């Protein structure tokens, strides 16, 4: 009798244990592969950040979460401005996305594209690593994605095939490729340029054929894409906007993972983002100016704006700044301005 009672107790305990585990087991019904969207592949700092993240996640989850990279925004036919919508619709599982590309759907992200808001790298950090960054993550969290970490595409410098750009007058009439952002169109128009909206996939052939005269992008993108080979011989370092990146997971995917794996993916994103920022800034600041020197060795003429020259561009775009400050949110922009000023 005692043996029978013992066996019944053990069976009951085992049944209770299985019942307690059932929700976790059901929750952990993982897909064999998760799709990560990227505009640029691992040859660029942007794509390298995605690759590092995917590798860390696979290693730290013992292969439970296997992520495949889809560069060139191939999951949305190369239209990078559709990436955020596709995340919300379940087409994309994870992304390392651009604040510029997502700004049409999340107006607050236009903050980083305000002309000449951020004078240097500490200013970027003051925003992304401070209260402003937290506020923006809160906005993203309301829109069906889980933001995990800030990365960086870098300050966007302007290049062209015609002549050096030292004053706003030098931009007059130049056909410049820009991303599909109304703020970028407003900024370039205010400077007298002729902005031409197109995807990055179309940009290089357009420069090679002369359909456009120039473009604006971080130096790391210029170098990796070898834009000197498509007649981009004149590069001006003006740092008019910066493009932070955001490591995110679609909320519908995030909710299928166990809390333990969520924690692993989050920490992997933070670690990958830290490495990615270091890669993006390498050779750009301080004693290490190697990225600039490498381009000069390839025949690219580089002009760094003086403070007085930069102020001319600031003045020429002030109307755009004031217009978009209202659209982005004066409180958010004011908080950003204060954070930058506190770090100067």
198, 206 Cβ separation under 8 angstroms? yes
Backbone angles phi, psi at 197, to 5 degrees: -80, 125
- Is 333 within the bounds of a domain? yes
Q: What pLDDT, on the 0 to 100 scale, is given for residue 180? A: 81
70, 77 Cβ separation under 8 angstroms? no
Q: Which residues are bridge partners to 177 per DSSP?
A: 196, 215
**Distance between CA atoms of residues 327 and 304, nearest Å:** 31
- Is 9 within the bounds of a domain? no
CA neighbor of 96 nearest in space, from 64, 59, 135, 56: 56
- Is 18 within the bounds of a domain? no
- Is 250 within the bounds of a domain? yes
Q: What pLDDT, on the 0 to 100 scale, is given for residue 169? A: 97
Backbone angles phi, psi at 261, to 5 degrees: -75, -35
CA neighbor of 313 nearest in space, from 167, 99, 157: 167
Please indicate, yes or no, whether residues 52 and 180 belong to a single structural domain of this protein.
Answer: no
Backbone angles phi, psi at 282, to 5 degrees: -60, 130
The rounded Cα 5 to chain-centroid distance in angstroms is 62
Q: What pLDDT, on the 0 to 100 scale, is given for residue 344? A: 66
79: which residues sit within 8 A by CB, 6+ positions away? 73, 199
DSSP 211-254: SSSEEEE-HHHHHHTTGGGGT--EEEE----EEEEEEEEEHHHH
Please indicate, yes or no, whether residues 223 and 302 belong to a single structural domain of this protein.
Answer: yes
End-to-end Cα distance, the chain: 81
Write down the pTM of the prediction.
0.88
Which structural domain range is residue 233 located in? Answer: 157-241+288-343
CATH of the domain at 174: 3.40.190.170
- Is 7 within the bounds of a domain? no
Q: What pLDDT, on the 0 to 100 scale, is given for residue 271? A: 98
81: which residues sit within 8 A by CB, 6+ positions away? 101, 104, 179, 180, 181
Structure-block tokens of residue 23: 């929700």
Please indicate, yes or no, whether residues 64 and 44 belong to a single structural domain of this protein.
Answer: yes
Please indicate, yes or no, whether residues 260 and 131 belong to a single structural domain of this protein.
Answer: yes
Number of domains in the chain: 2
Please indicate, yes or no, whether residues 177 and 65 belong to a single structural domain of this protein.
Answer: no
Mean pLDDT by groups of 10 residues along the chain of 344 residues: 48 46 53 97 96 98 98 93 95 97 95 97 97 97 97 97 97 94 95 94 94 96 95 97 97 97 98 97 91 96 97 98 97 98 84
Please indicate, yes or no, whether residues 147 and 212 belong to a single structural domain of this protein.
Answer: no
Q: What pLDDT, on the 0 to 100 scale, is given for residue 211? A: 96
- Is 165 within the bounds of a domain? yes
For the chain, the 3-state helix, strand and coil shares in percent, each to the nearest 5, are 55, 15, 30
**Distance between CA atoms of residues 150 and 141, nearest Å:** 14
């Amino acid at each position: 009798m005692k043996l029978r009672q013992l066996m019944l107790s053990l069976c009951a305990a085992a049944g209770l244990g299985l019942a307690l585990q059932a929700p976790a087991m059901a929750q952990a019904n993982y897909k064999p592969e998760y799709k990560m969207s990227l505009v640029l592949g691992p040859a660029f700092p942007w794509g390298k950040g995605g690759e590092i993240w995917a590798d860390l996640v696979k290693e730290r989850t013992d292969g439970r979460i296997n992520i495949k990279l889809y560069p060139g925004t191939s999951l949305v036919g190369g239209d990078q401005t559709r990436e955020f919508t596709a995340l919300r619709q379940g087409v994309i599982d994870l992304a390392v996305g651009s604040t510029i590309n997502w700004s049409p759907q999340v107006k607050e992200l236009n903050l980083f594209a305000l002309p000449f808001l951020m004078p240097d790298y500490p200013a970027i950090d003051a925003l992304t690593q401070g209260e402003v960054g937290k506020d923006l993550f809160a906005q993203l969290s309301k829109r069906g994605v889980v933001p995990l970490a800030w990365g960086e595409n870098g300050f966007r410098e302007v290049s062209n095939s015609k002549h050096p750009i030292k004053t706003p007058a030098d931009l007059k009439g130049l056909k410049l490729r820009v991303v599909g952002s109304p703020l970028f169109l407003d900024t370039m128009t205010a400077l007298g340029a002729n902005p031409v909206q197109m995807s990055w996939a179309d940009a290089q052939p357009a420069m090679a054929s002369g359909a456009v005269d120039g473009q604006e992008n971080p130096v790391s993108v210029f170098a990796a894409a070898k834009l000197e080979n498509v007649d981009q011989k004149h590069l001006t370092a003006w740092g008019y906007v910066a493009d932070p990146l955001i490591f995110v997971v679609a909320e519908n995917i995030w909710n299928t993972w166990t809390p333990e794996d969520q924690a692993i993916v989050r920490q992997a994103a933070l670690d990958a983002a830290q490495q990615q920022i270091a890669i993006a800034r390498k050779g750009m600041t301080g004693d290490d100016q190697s990225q600039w020197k490498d381009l000069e060795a390839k025949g690219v003429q580089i002009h760094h704006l003086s403070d007085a020259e930069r102020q001319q561009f600031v003045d020429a775009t002030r109307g755009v700044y004031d217009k978009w400050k209202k659209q982005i949110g004066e409180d958010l922009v004011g908080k950003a301005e204060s954070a930058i000023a506190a770090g100067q």
